[in-house]
Each structure stands twice: as structure tokens, then as C-alpha cells.
Structure 1
Amino acid sequence: MKFEKKTISGILLIIVSILILIVPNILLNDSQGILNLCLTIISKICLFLFLGLVLLRLTRSFFWSYLILGTAYLLSSIIEISNIILLDHYITADNITSLLNASKSEVQEFYHLFRVYLVVPAVLIAAFIFIVIKYKSIAYNIKNQKLIIPLALIALVISIPVSFLRIYHSDKALSGKGLIDCTLRIDYLMDHPFNILNESYVFVKNSIRARKYKAQHDNFSFGILNQSDTQKPKLVVFIIGERMRYANWSINGYNRETSPNLEKIKNLISFKKNYSNSNFTYGSIPLIITQATPKDPTLAYSQKTIVTLFKEAGYETNWISSQYLFDIINEKNTPDHLYPLYARQHTDMDIIPLFDSVLNKKTPKNRLIIINMLGGHGGVPAKFNVFNPNDSHEDHPVTLSNAAIFINTYDNMMLFQDYVLSEITKMTERQNVSSVVMFTADHGCNLFDNGKALFGYGSANPTEKETHVPMFISVSDKYIENNHNKYKNLLDHRDLLTTNNNLFYSLADLANIKYKSFVKQQSISDPSFVEFPSRFVRADNKVFEFKNVKDNELNSGLAENASTKEDNTSKK
């Protein structure tokens, strides 16, 4: 009886000693359903046992094994729990950048606002010290030490399939990515306790890359050729959406009314065959705001962005950032004015009053306003949840049988984005000046298209729906008066193949900015625009070539075929 009581106490000690160190895993999965939470706990306990048993074989001490492994887990836990409480996600490379660059006043403000949450890591530290002391009293008297490593391997063999099962029952299973790769990446590399190491590596890699191209970047100049041109529009607005595909806008022929407001905008042109050059945000953003291409992505770091181009042309530059993008490409200090909506809880609805305040600020200069939206990653106000049933009130498993629910949810998001975009466009028009509004998205997504169990984006083999994105250009009456031929060229080219690589040149051309490396054949507002026979997509460390196809082939899905070549640029 005494032996049984001692055994039970030992097992409870082990379980509790592990549970206090996997709190971040529990916090991020407690709202994902009981099955998901149970699978997470089992997988993480087994992972800890694997690492702990290996250490036990090396140290031959329960105390030192738990102290060494537990300290590493505890440090990760304190960092991750703080980030989860504040931002509801694990720490990222940009969080590390912000932390390392925080001023004294920012640190003081942070402490003042969030010091109450310090009780959580304090309790964990106290519990950890208590358990370490308990382990110190446990003698190492294992007779058959050869069993330790096999037991460790058994724990690992349990952990990986359980994680695989968890991913299999999530939306990641339908993303088109390899399930094994997805499991190892999401449930281990990008999860507690390894996430902090992975994000630190990304931070260091980004820093090295920035230093590598720093001299070229700092010395780079676009070389404006028409500085004194008086035909430049007074106001240029460039909007970058998130996870918005071409197919689900009624303005593009979708059978639901998802863009009723944009359809009423005068002088708005929708481009029929516009494609992103990548199927994930980190791949696409540098190719949108710089002259970089899928074949030459390093130009994003050796050259400067569209913001600098407009600054050199005499524009006041503004950036309303609804989603943090500055760990992708370091432009945080480039705009004259940065409005960091990402620094607080918000939806894209908050862009509207902020945009209005920016418009109403007096300036003698022409203005560029860049807006990057939350889009498909943000919340949708209740009044836009018109397609039912949807995923707004209850979590549903991402399965083909629930396709209608997730399509409804997505279409509600589109309806919301239509409202925000139309409000921005109308507010710009009301300025009664020569103005341009351009909108596109970083990538699209799969929505169980053609009855296939494929959902999400970032698949290893990019699909048409992941890369076919909307592009809208709206110009004011005054702009047309001054630039009638450019507007006519836009109309003439709206059915031709365009990609987000054309945006840089087109936006410069629409603003009547001419510079040394300007390529007029890549501007859709120039009469000499050339439709390329292929488009290129950078994904999964490869460059995919998609041949330009006729409309009937596009609709039948034949555009999915692509040739590829390896690319040594890493993907995050």
C-alpha cells in the first residue's frame, strides 16, 4: 500500500511538473475544442518525456534533468505566455525586433499597463522552484538503464502521430501542404518551446540579410527624371488586401452580391486576369511594393520600395498599417507618417476614421497613402454576417461537409471588405482633386473548389484560386481630365494577363513619375504595355511558371499546370 501511494505520488509529480511547463500550449488551444486540447496535452507531455529521458540517461539525475530541461521550458513559457496574453499568439521575429528596439518610455508604459499580468509567470516560477526542490530529494536508482532510451523513443513515437492526428483534424490538413512537413513545422518548430528559438533564428537571418544588402539599399536611388512635372495627381491611395481571391466578388461575376458598393463606384475598373506572384504573405509583399520578381527576389532588399519612389518624387508618404508587415521588409521608418493600427485590437472598420483624419490634414505636398488591411485575418462586424450559416458564433471543423459554412463566412468577409474599400474610395473622390485609388491582395485562397478537400493558402503547389486576386483601379473625374489616355489604356488592358509585378510600374505611371529603371511595357496605363506569355509564382522555395491561358481554359482549371525550378530563397 505504501509502495502504491509512493508510485502514485511520483506519477502525479511528473504530470504536474510537465503541465506547469506546457501552459502556453494549453492557452493557445483551450478554445479549439476538447479533442484538440487533449491531443495537444498528450503530444506535449510525450515530447517532454522524450527530452527528459534523454537528459536523464546523460545526467543520471532526476534533479539535474528537470532543472536543465525545465529552465529552458520555463524561459520559453514566460515569454510566450506574455505574448499570448497581450497578442493572442506566440512571439514572432517582429515582436523580438520591437522588444530589442523599445525605448525606456515604451518599457515603462508597458510595465504600467500590463504589470498585473506578471503574476502568471511569477506563479509559474514559484511552482517550478517548488518542484525542483522535490526532484532533488529523489534518488537515481534505476537498475536497468538500457531501457531509458527505448522509453524515450516510445514517447517520441507517441508524440508525433498524436500531433499528426491533431493537424489532420484541423484546417491545415486541407491546405495542400504536406501533412508531415506541416506537423513538424506547426506542432514543433513553431510551437512552444522551440518557437522562441525558431523566431530568434528568423530575426538573426533577417538582420544578416539586411546587413548584407545594407550598403546597396542605402545608396540606392530611383533617379526621378520629371521632378517638376505638374500633372502628378494630388492624391494616390494604394491598398493591399489580405487573403482575398478574385472569384468571390460579385463585381467580377460571382453569383452572390458581395460587392454591391464597389459596383456603384464611378470610374472603377476591375482587372480580369490579375495574379499574385506568391501564395503567402511573406512571399508576396516584397514583390508588390518593390521591383523584385519571383526570379529575382533579392531586389526587395538591395533596392527601395514604392514609398521611397514617391518620396523622391516630392510626395508626402503615409502608411496605415492594419497588419504588421515590417518584419517582412523593413519599411517602418520610411514613410513620413506611420499609423500602426496593428498595435491595438481592431478590425478593418477602424481604417475608415483614421483614413478620414489623414485626408483632412493640411499639406502643401501631393500625398501617397498606403493601406495594408487585415482582410481575411480580421474580424467581421455582426451586421455583415448576412450569409448563413457561418462560423461567427460557433467553431466548426474544417471539412468538405462544412464547405458551405466556410464559404458563407468568407463571403461575409468579402461583403465587409467591399464596404471598407468603397468608403475609402468615396472619401478620396470627395477630396475633389486629381486622385488614384489602386487595390489588390497579397494572395487568394482555396475554398473547397470543384468539390476538392482543399482549404486555405500557401500550398506547396500553388493553385489558381490562391494566386488569382482582384485588382481595382478607381480614378477621379479630375484625373481623367488631365490623363484621359491613361484611363483609356486601363480600360483597354483590363482583360489582359497582369500580375502584381506590374503594380510598381503602373502606380508610378499613373502618378506620372518617370525614373531611370522605369519599364513602360510593364505599366498597364501605358499604350505599349506587353502581356507576357507566362506568369511566375514563388512558393515553397521554387519558382512556378504558369502559361497564359484562354478564358475557357482558366474556368476549367487547366491553368493549374505549371513548370517549376528550384529557388534557394527560404520561405517562412
Structure 2
Amino acid sequence: IGADAVATVRPEGSRPRLLVFVVGETARAQNWGLNGYARETTPQLTQMGVINFSDMHSCGTNTEVSVPCMFSSFGRRNYDEDKIRSHQSLLHVLERAGITTLWRDNQSGCKGVCDGLEYQSLGNAQSSSLCVDGRCFDEILLEDLPAQARKNPGDRVIFLHQLGNHGPSYFQRYPAAYRKFIPTCDTPEMGKCTREQIVNSYDNAILYTDHFLTQVIKKLQGLSDYDTAMIFVSDHGESLGEKGLFLHGMPYAIAPQEQTRVPLVMWFSSTFTQSRGLNIGCLSERARSYANHDALFSSVLGLMQVKTSEYDRNFDFFFGCDDKNI
């Protein structure tokens, strides 16, 4: 798809653009500090000047559905699993427009969306400080990130696929420094824990994601030869005992909001905001409205100024909040 994709030519001497798109895992909106949760689970992001979308909804209730869907032109509105799997993704359209992509994974792969493109699996990397028993904390995704950005000249989009809040072993998703809410559930057998312990472990994993995303932003701030931006969105939510339900994966039509409402956060460097002509006030206002995964495909194309017949401005968060519409 996107055989007609071309990137808008910018003035000579313009800095290249680097977007880091973080795919979260099992983070739900209800426990996200920026959404007004009773606990401070996002203390660092609160200080980073991010735009927080408070009413964001996922395409599916599991990774296998949500990840292919969120990077497809079909979305939830035209959901067809066979079509989504047999068609190329947002990443292929970006590549066709000359914007290189990289998918770095600390999880179970890219579910087809990066087929044939640059892919790195870091889930069992040999980093002594970040990896234990064959699994790694998400900060492994940040190792040599500046070098990965500079590997290709020109605009680049790097996708980081987190292990995030993957259950039932929430307690294994964060280093000891983030064990703030106690007592925790320190076994994958949730039946042996109280609901309080389960929620504490889950919230600690959110706290670590807050740290991880703040580190992404700090790395981007250090790349002053680029105009940089970050988008973070979770693939689906999680039930933590509400109505007796745990984990996720319920049929979408009857799934509770805990499994379908997810965080979405954006950050832009001042030079990105300037060169792209973004109106942050307008975007912050829009972030208070209902939104869903269907908007991600055209929003990234719009943000990176890619022209293609696949683009639909009705599903672009940035359309009308900028003075440089494509």
C-alpha cells in the first residue's frame, strides 16, 4: 500500500526529523497518573511538558489484534483481520516515502507490521544491569539509541515495543528501585495474592514505564541535530479484579473499559513544534476529546508530512492544529 507515498520537501538545511513511537503493553488509562489516578504513577512525565490524551481507546483487547490494527489503514472501523494481515503497514508507507524505520522489540515481535524492514529483538540481550533470567527491563530499548537514529541520514521513525505491564508477572517488569507501592504480588499465580498486592505490582510497573518514557524524552533532547518527537500509546488495557475479571483478551464487544481504555502521550521538541508549525494549545485541547487507535496511521503520516491516498485527514490528530497541512 502507499505506492504513491511522498514526503513533503522541506527547505534546504532543515534538520532531519526523528520520531520515537513507543508501543506500550497492557497499560490502562485508569491507573495512569496523568489521567487523575489517585496514585502518582507518572511523577516524571508530569514534569516533562507532555500532551496527555485522557480518553483514548484501543483497537483490540490483546497484542495480536491491536498491534497490526493500530498500524493499518483499516483500523477498528473497518476491522478485517485477513485484510490487515495481508496488507502492508504504516511502516511500509513511511519507507516508501523515504523515511527509514526501525522496530526494536523487548517483547513478542512486531506481529507482521515490520515484515522485511529493519528489526532488532532485544528481549534476551546480554546486558548485565538490565537483564535477569533471560528477560530484560524496557530500558534495554534505549541502549545506543542515538547511534541507531544516526544510522540512516534523513527523517527516521524508531518504534520501541515495550514489555511494559505484561501480566501476570507484573513484579518482574520493574527494577527494585520502582517497588514503591507495597506489599506486592511476587508470583505469577495471582490466586495466591490479594487484589491490593496485584494492583500494587501493576502500579509499580506503570511507575517504571513513566521513568522509561522520561528517559526516551531526555535522549531525544540530547539529539540537538534533529527535530525530535515521541508518541507513546498502549496496545490494550487490563482488568485488575473489577467484576471479578483479571488480565485481558475479552471479546471486544463485551470487554470492560479497563481492557480498552489506554494512555496516549505525546512530546515534541521546541524545534519540531516550530518546523512542523504545530499549535500545542490546539493539540492539548483536542487531547481532552474521545480518541482511538484508528487515528494513529494517518496521524503519523500527517506528522511526518507524507502525502499518499491512504492518508485520511479525518483520522489525523494534527490536522487543523498546524499551519503546514500536507
Distance 1:321 1:249 in 2: 23
Match of 1:312 in 2: 96
In the TM superposition, residue 235 of structure 1 has moved relative to its aligned partner by 0.4
Distance 2:204 2:317 in 1: 31
For residues 221-252 of structure 1, give each alpha carbon's deviation from its aligned partner in whole angstroms, at most 9, with x where no partner exists.
Answer: 34124453457961011110000001112111
Matches for 1:392-541 after TM superposition, within 5 Å: 392=186, 397-398=190-191, 402-432=194-224, 433-449=226-242, 452-460=243-251, 461-527=254-320
Match of 1:97 in 2: none
TM-score, structure 1 length as denominator? 0.50
Secondary structure at the counterpart of residue 290 of structure 1:
coil
Q: Given the alignment of the two structures, is residue 256 of structure 1 paired with residue 46 of structure 2, yes or no?
A: no
Distance 1:330 1:426 in 2: 27
Match of 2:116 in 1: 333
Counterpart of 2:140 (choices 350, 354, 361) is 350
Matches for 1:350-369 after TM superposition, within 5 Å: 350-359=140-149, 361-369=150-158
Distance 1:502 1:523 in 2: 6
Secondary structure at the counterpart of residue 320 of structure 1:
strand
Change (3 A) 1:526 1:397: closer
Q: Higher strand share goes to which structure?
A: 2
For residues 119-168 of structure 1, give each alpha carbon's deviation from its aligned partner in whole angstroms, at most 9, with x where no partner exists.
Answer: xxxxxxxxxxxxxxxxxxxxxxxxxxxxxxxxxxxxxxxxxxxxxxxxxx
Report the residue type matching 1:261 in the other structure: Q
Q: How many residues get paired?
A: 301
In the TM superposition, residue 363 of structure 1 has moved relative to its aligned partner by 3.6
Distance 1:222 1:287 in 2: 20
Distance 1:471 1:527 in 2: 19
Ranked by relative contact order (alpha carbons within 8 Å, sequence separation 6 or more), the top structure is: 2
Q: Given the alignment of the two structures, is residue 384 of structure 1 paired with residue 178 of structure 2, yes or no?
A: yes
Distance 1:427 1:354 in 2: 10
Indicate the structure (1 or 2) with the bigger Cα radius of gyration. 1
Match of 1:84 in 2: none
**Structure 1: runs of 5 or more not aligned:** 1-219, 530-572
Distance 1:424 1:278 in 2: 26
Change (3 A) 1:528 1:425: closer
CA contact (8 A) 1:238 1:369 kept: yes
Distance 1:496 1:397 in 2: 35
Distance 2:267 2:42 in 1: 15
Report the residue type matching 1:347 in the other structure: F
CA contact (8 A) 1:241 1:372 kept: yes
Report the residue type matching 1:279 in the other structure: T
Match of 1:285 in 2: 67
Match of 1:11 in 2: none
Distance 1:225 1:315 in 2: 9
Secondary structure at the counterpart of residue 93 of structure 2:
helix
Q: Given the alignment of the two structures, is residue 235 of structure 1 paired with residue 18 of structure 2, yes or no?
A: yes
Change (3 A) 1:476 1:341: same
Report the residue type matching 2:267 in the other structure: S
TM-score, structure 2 length as denominator? 0.85
CA contact (8 A) 1:232 1:511 kept: no
Counterpart of 2:58 (choices 264, 276, 286) is 276
Matches for 1:74-223 after TM superposition, within 5 Å: 220-223=1-4
Identity %: 23
Distance 2:157 2:314 in 1: 23
Secondary structure at the counterpart of residue 459 of structure 1:
coil
CA contact (8 A) 1:232 1:512 kept: no
Q: Higher helix share goes to which structure?
A: 1
Change (3 A) 1:507 1:472: same
In the TM superposition, residue 431 of structure 1 has moved relative to its aligned partner by 1.1
Change (3 A) 1:251 1:330: closer
CA contact (8 A) 1:390 1:405 kept: yes
Distance 1:403 1:247 in 2: 16
Report the residue type matching 2:30 in the other structure: A
Report the residue type matching 2:284 in the other structure: L
Distance 2:296 2:47 in 1: 24
Match of 2:128 in 1: none
In the TM superposition, residue 366 of structure 1 has moved relative to its aligned partner by 1.5
Report the residue type matching 1:410 in the other structure: Y
Change (3 A) 1:292 1:435: same
CA contact (8 A) 1:445 1:465 kept: yes
Distance 1:528 1:410 in 2: 35
Change (3 A) 1:233 1:445: farther
Secondary structure at the counterpart of residue 56 of structure 2:
strand
